[in-house]
Every structure is written in C-alpha cells, then in structure tokens.
Structure 1
Amino acid sequence: MALGTSSPSPAAPPPSPQHIYTNTRTLGSPEAEGHAGGGYPTYTNVEVVNDGAESAAFKQLFRTWSDKRSRNQKLGGRDKLIHVKLDVGKLHTQPELAAQLRMVDDSSGKVEVWCMEDLHRQPVDPKRHGQLYAGNCYLVLYTYQRLGRVQYILYLWQGRQATADEIKALNSNAEELDVMYGGALVQEHVTMGSEPPHFLAIFQGQLVIFQERAGHHGKGQSASTTRLFHVQGTDSQNTKTMEVPARASSLNSNDIFLLVTASVCYLWFGKGCNGDQREMARVVVTVISKKNEETVLEGQEPPHFWEALGGRAPYPSKKRLPEEVPRFQPRLFECSSQMGCLVLAEVVFFSQEDLDKYDIMLLDTWQEIFLWLGEAASEWKEAVAWGQEYLKTHPAGRSPATPIVLVKQGHEPPTFTGWFFTWDPYKWTSHLSDTEVVEGSPAAASTISEITAEVNNLRLSRWPGNGKAGAVALQALKGSQDSSENELMQGPKSGGTRTSSSVSSTSATINGGLRREQLMHQAAEDLPEGVDPARREFYLSDSDFQDIFGKSKEEFYSMATWRQQQEKKQLGFF
C-alpha cells in the first residue's frame, strides 16, 4: 500500500523508513541527529513533534493514545458520553454524538435476520434473532427512519468457525439484497467478538453467541451437556453473552457466568460484578436454559459446580480497570489502484466537499473503517479488500476484526456524517429516485411522498411572485434551510401543479388563520378546502401558533426541516 498526503504522514514500513519523528529535546539539527543516529539515508524525511501537539498521523502509529489534558478533565468529552442514557432525539439532531457513540438511533427499528445455509440465506425465526452460532454467517438487516426517509444498515456477521465458501456466500447474498433495495443499504462487515455498539443494542441485551454450528433455519444442533457462558454488559443496549470453554480458567471475578449442566443452571456472580450486570444475567438465562436456576457467589461454590468444570483452576481475579475511550482524530483518504497496488492520498482538514462522485474515500475513525462509494466510482467492488489491506498494513498493527462499513453516496448514516464539521443532508437529494427504495416495501410510498413534500415546500418558499405567502415563507425558511438556489429548486416535476395551487390557497388564508381544531390530528381529506396538508401549521393564527408550538412562526421556520417535521408529528400537524 502506498500512502501520499498533503501533509507529513506515516506509511506502511518500506525497506527504508520515509519518516523519522523526533521532539523538541533533540540536540542539534533534527535532520542531522535523525540520519546519523539511526544510520538512515539522507533522503529520509524528519518531522519534529512537540509534546501535546502531536498530529493525527503520529498518534496512529500507536495502538493507544492518551492525551495528558484529558486526565485533568472531569469526565469530559467522549468519556462522559458513554455513560449518558441514549436519547434518540439527540442522536438525530447531533450526528457528532451518533458518530462518537456509534449509534444511528435508539435501536427501536425493524430487525430481520438470515442465516447462511448451503450457501443460501434462510430467514431466522424472530424468536431466535439474537442466537448466533460461531460456525455460521448471518445477514442482519436493520430498518429505521431519519430525516423523513427510510434508511437501512445491513450487518454481515461472520462467525470465527465459518468456512471460506460461507464467507463468500455471505458477501454475494449481501449484494443481492442491496440490489433488491435499490443500492440503499449501508453494509457493515462484523467479525464475531468485535460487534459494534448498535449491533448489540438491536438485540435488546439478548445476543447469545454459541460455539457450535447452527442447524436447519438457525436452530442449534445437539451440544455438550455442560456449557459455560460469559455475560458482559450492564443494560439492554450493551449486553452480549458468549459461550466459552467449560473450564474454571475461563472465569473472571469482574463478570457473571452461566454454567449449564444436565440438571441445573448456575448463575455465578463474580465479586467485582454490580447490580446492573446481575439484572441482565437474569434476563439472559431465560434465553439459554429452561432448567432450574441456582445463584452462586464467588467463593461459595458447591462441590458439583467445580466438578462440572473439571476441577478448580486459577482465573483472572484482579479488578478490571475501565477502558479508556480512544481519542484519535479521524483521517480521510482518497483511494485508487495503480498496478494492483492500493494508493492512498490523505485529505487534511476534510469536508463534505471533498467527497466526489467518481471517488472511493476511506474514513478511518480508529474504531471503524468507512469506505464511501461515489455514485460514479468504478472500482467499488474492491472497496472491502482495500479496507482489509489498510488495516493489515497499518503501522500501528490494527486489529483485522475492525468493522468495515460500506457507505454509498446519498445514503450516509449519522455515524459517518458526524465526523464532518458540517454536513448538508440534501446535497445529493436529487440523486434519489423511486427505484432507490425497495420495490413493494410498505414504506416506499410514504418515503417518496415525504421527500417530495419537503422539496416542494422549499420550492414554494423561493417561487417568485407568491405575494404575502411567499414573503412569509422566504423569511421563515432562512438559516439552515437557506442553502443554494440550485438545491432549493430541485424536486419532482409532478409537484409543480400542487405547488401553484398551494401558493394561491396560502395567500388567501394565511392572514386570518383557521381554528386549531380544523388543522390538528386531521386526515388530509378532512382539512378545509385549499389547505396544503404538508404545511397545515401555516394556517394557524400567530397567537395559536405561539400557544401550540411555544415559539413564533419565524422562529419555527428558522429551524432545520427535519426538526420542524419532528415537532409537527408530535403536535398533530403531520
């Protein structure tokens, strides 16, 4: 892999180093000291690094990096966010929070699961959605709504014992699903044991990974009568249970284990576990075993407990220190291939404008690798292999199990957009069409109509000669909605007639105002004649509007469109 940047950046180790890093304590000339001290050739680049001002390229040479300043803060920044209860409203309004927590929403969307059997996908009974097997591969489709659009994440889960043919079948079946859904699927490759937070959350704390291979339609095959399960997590958003070898050395004083024998299921509580962990273990045990439960505290185990594990043995008992949240800066690279070799060119101070439809871009956030595929990119089938090569050749020795996420232009999730300083969700709206929503999907018609209504509303506000209604709308839609003229004028041609009628009806009634009972919680066909269903709140008097929404019309229409839609839904104006 070759690496080029517009600023000094490390590359994969070549025969002779391209960079030498030193600090301000180096005596004499940094170049002279670097070349002479290590016997490096004179053409080797030397970069001076000041303590506390290390570049992202320098920090990524290390497996972990801890900023000195962060230790003096009171649970500031991302460390504090991890312990905050998820608020779906905040995730939608603050994509940077979604990116840091790696959560697109509160995991309340629709979940569908397929298991790879005989190289084909077979649906898994919803009752067993959270039961995965190490010898298999699974497709997990998650459907949710954001900004008035139905969006999708397809997780490609790979068991550690899966064969090469099954992994190949997993990828080909994912491509088939993507075609069925009009190319709208965000695809995330997940390796067993490295599941991202959102993947854990969608199973509501009941994700159990068994060591054997699944049988027909995802059902487990016969297994040993004695089995040991490691329960990790404190709530339904972060709990995962994994089967481990049934021996005493697998235990850990910080956690909870379930020991299933022929006659009883032991709940073993380590000395370091807390009440939240114990509560989740009691939920998980109902998924794993229907046998009699017996609670066992560490140090008070009955003889039969140790007999089932083959006798006593040493196991980790020291208190586990809390994991430090990585603080690496994200890095964006433009990908290309020359003579079969991956070439990366880093984009510094990147923004949405750096994403070109002809390019494939790699965004490294350390915990995940995003590969953004422009709609006109020609080598997108190589993207996953490029991500794997990037991890394999990274100087810091990155884990090959790091999740790799494929993101297509126009379908970016907040976990991707949140890493950009600003993001315009409507920049590529014109690229969306009816065919990009799965044919036959119940949500297809509503999704298209919501987008059409939103774009038509924007067109109404900028249409010349609208009289009073046009002036009010133009004033109201300033700020976040006041993007380029080109974007605002985009929209389906079929919306033209409706827009014209909306203009005249709005002009006729906006000043007088209609009673709130005529507009709230009413079906479109039950609204007074001439009222635009997509803008029904417009027809309230100023006093009623202030009373219902708690703000003036000017304040309301200065908000982002998705925030307006959210409040309208909550108050019965949608």
Structure 2
Amino acid sequence: MLQMFVNKNEQTSQIDTKRPAWCIFGKQNQNVETLLFKGKFYDWPSNFQEIKSVLDVGTNLNKPSSTQRPPSIVETLKPADVYKMLVKQNNPVNMILEQINTGRGRYWYDSIEMRGHHVQTIGLNVWHLSENERHELSKTSYGQFYSDDVYIVRWKYKLIPIGNDNTLERKTDISRDRIAYWIWQGINASPNEKGLSALMAILLNEEKGPHIHVIQEHEEAAFLQLFDGTFTIHMGKRNQLKPKKTPWRLYVFLGEIDVETHWWELNVNSANLRSRTSFLLINNIENLMLLWHGYGTTDEQQILASKSAMKLRERCSEEFHFDGQTEDIEFFEMEEGDEIELFWDGINERNHERRYYSLLNVRSNLKLSSTMRIFHLSSLHGPFVAQELLYPLRSPDHISSFPFTQSDLYELHQPALCLIDTDTELYIWQGWHDQSDDELGLQLANANLLARGPRDIRFTTERRCGFRTAIDYYKTKTGSSTIDIPMSIVYAGLEPIDFVNLFPKWSVNIKARQQNQLEGKSVNQKDSIIDVLNELCREQYSIEELRARPLPEGVDPSKIESYLSNADFQKEFRMTKDEFYALPYWKQTNIKKPLGFF
C-alpha cells in the first residue's frame, strides 16, 4: 500500500473546517478489502454481528425484569428472510491461485478494472500414490482416477494478458510460468494415503507453488478442465481391482460445459439410472460401449455426452480394460424408451423393469426451467437463517440437472434442515439426531417403547421456522396467496424415489434410517408441510396431554400452562390467565410445580 505522510508532527484537531495536514492514500481491491476500509460504511455486508461492551447501557435496557418470565427460544426464533433467499447469488466460479483470479481455469476478465488474461496450460503431470510410493501415469491415463486412491496433479500454466476492451486480443506474452499442485483424494482412500499425499506434494514442489486439495465429487471447474471433458472416477483401487460378477460397468454423465464434463462409475443396477442425464454402459470383454440418453435430456446434453464418450473411446485408457484397440470397440447410442436388447442384458433387467423414477410417463415436468436450489436452514449461530449451497460448476448460461450430491445434505451438522426448490415442488429435508453407536444400540434394544418425534425444543422450533419459511418463500416467489405445488417433508434414510432421483447417485444411510424409524417415521414417508406446521402450532391442549411426558411436540416447556383453555386454566389454577401472569415470575413457578405444569 502506498502511504504518504505530510507534517506528521503537526497536531490536528478532530473537528476542523479545513482538510487535515496529512492523510493516508491507499488502494483497495474488490473482495479483499481490509476491516479498516469496511468500517467506513455502515451497511457493508458482513456475516459478523456488531460487538458491544458488556457495560453497554443499551444492552441492559432490553434485559427483562426479574419478575418477568424470560423469553424462550420458541418466542425469539423467527423464520428466515425470504427476500434475501430469492436474490440469486451471481458470484462467478473463480479459482484464486497466488492471489490471481483464474476463473474456470481458462480465462478471466474483470469488467470493473477492464483487464483480464487467458490461462494457458503448458504442461501436466499426474502421479498415483500407493504404498508410500508415487507412480507417474501415462498421458492416456490422465483423468482416470479411482475412488480408493490418492493422486497428485502438477499443473504448469501461464497468464497471457488481454486488451482492456475485452476484445480477446492477446497482448505480448510477458508473464512467467506458474505451477500449482492439485491433491485429489478419493472418498475411500485410507488416512495414511491422504497424509502421504501432502508429504509427497511438498517433496515434488520445487517451485513452491500452491497446493489445492480436491475431494471426490466436489471437483472445481479449474481442475476438471485440465482433462478436457474426460475426467472419470472408477470404483475401487487402481492396483487391487476386485473380481466382478459381470463384465459390465455403468457410468453417469455430469457437467454442462464441454471441457468440464465428467463421469462417475456406479453399481450396475437399473435403480441407478436417471431420466435427466446420460449413462455409459461398458463391456470390456466384448469391447462394447452403449450410450443411453434419459428421456428428460436436452439435445445439448446428448451432444456433450456423445462427444465425451467418443473421446474416451479414442483414448482407450487402460483403466477401462478393453480387450483391443479403439477401432475394435463397438459403439451404440440410444434413448430411454427405445433401448436395444443388449442394454437390458447389460443391466440385468431382462423383464425391462425400470427401478428408477422414469420421466417417460411424467410429461408435465419434462423440461427444466431452472437449476435446483438448496438452502441450509439453521439457528446454530443465533438467528434462524437460510444459507444457500452453491453449485461448484454453476454457470448463468446453463441449467444443471444434478447440481448437488447426497453428501451436500448428509455432511451438514445434524440434525439438519434443508429447503430444496425444484421449481415444480418444494421439499424440506429433515436430518437425524446423530448419536454414537452405543447410544443408538441402546435405543434399538428398547425399540418396544413408544416411538415419538424429536424432543429437542431447539430443533422443534427450527422445524416450525423452517416450515413457515418454506410457505413464505413460495408465496413471495410466486406472488400468490395459495399453494399450487406439492410441499413435502422427507426424512433422512427414508427418502422416496422421486426425491432420491434429484441427485446423480444415492445410497441409503443405515444410521439415519434407524434413528428416524425409532422416531416413528417409515420408508418413503412424505408429510405435508402445511399439515405438520398446523400440528406444531396448536394453541390448545387438554389437561391430560399437558401433564404427559414427553410433552406434545411443539409445546413450549417454559409456558405449558398457556396451552390450557380458559375453563381448564380456571379449574386448575383457581384464577384467570390475566391474574396469573400479573404475578411475579418466581411465584408463577411455585404455583405451576405442584400442579404438574412445570
């Protein structure tokens, strides 16, 4: 920062009619402003709450009197601000390396500063880590990763400045060569191999380039573009492949931009098919590639999938274990509803049974009008807020069929609540009370006890706020006072097939299923948000219901007596509600205890 000081020793008053004798000149860059700079603006967006002194008189003014009942969380927690939720975040995908914007890995232009650069790849090296050793892969194996392994990718690139009028005309190449190391870790990789990858990256890093950790199924656009639309995740371990019962292998197609398209291997099962994307079915013994397009795919998606599949065929990578060369591989392309018999043999469905949520008979919701949105609803840090999850490959020019994965829900702090907007239906996904195996085992052993819903008052209050948020969100979004689309609650481990098929792959979480079943939920259960909210907002209960333990779900334990009817209240307390609440709080407590309403 350029700083200039003039006449430092000259004393200046805080209030003056003239400019000060000296000042500080500084330059601030967008998105990396200092706290001192942000503090000059009263409305600067921030996730931090204002810090106040404990001696602040204003704090004490709002403190309730000792004779009053302190407000409970049921009263203080309010629904999320739906107006903020409806404002879509337009943050472009941008990988920052060495404090330089690289965008999606190929190009970046800042319209405010009117300058930018191309990102040119000069070289690429890929190492596979195994048993404390590293093995460099051949070029035909670049982008072919295994879910049980760890890889290091060395990316050599340079930045080429472009004209300030964004005409894409390159200036003279004066930039230096740069190095970055990507450490890709498979979901099932061992902790030792993950630790080894960090050590190996340090040993390889002679140029002192940045290290970027990449978790399987959460790859960044800048990483995927290195492999030009052929990135593939195979199941298992590269050097320890388990024998399979069938020579067939199934891969799901993902991505909306040519160089970022990629494939994930799934178990060969028709339940894993999805109508909104394409799949590649491979038989490496008979040298067959069958490309299947779901009924809900667009022409653009089909072209991208076909182009990517042909690249894989041309490379004929050893990871696919084809018995022959490129010209020996037979290629078939088909659409859902018009499959050849060989396809049904490959997925072992000779009766042509579709075990997935097929769109063949769902013509009304065939075309996607927008990308699905997910909001994490939580009061973990105080107020009840909706934090939107962002798709790492988002693009304003494309609609994604599968922007999120199952892990986006299950890796949240549990029990979690998520609002999922598919444009044709609203879901509230409800997590589970994550317990240790010992605690869960004890509950399972006593499963004959009456199973009820969650009793945690905070989570119950969050659910009430979440359901209200969902209703307010839809009404504000559509400008309608009525609900015209399904609004459902689904439960972790028990999700119905239509919900499961919103994600590219899915596996049942046994622990979540057991916990939610203990609380009275069943497989495929979908509850109406409106019906459950009405139950949680009941304002009156009988004397017997309020004396039962546990309390009915939704009842505020700090004011149980308030749910009595006026007649029942007079009968039990020998006074009216107004007379009771006029008493000091300590006296109210002493009266409630012997009556069983405390």
Indicate whether the TM-score tops 0.5.
no
The answer to which structure, 1 or 2, has the higher relative contact order (CA under 8 A, 6+ apart) is 1
Q: TM-score, normalised by structure 2?
A: 0.40
Larger fraction in helix: 1
Larger Rg, first or second structure (1 or 2): 2
Q: TM-score, normalised by structure 1?
A: 0.42
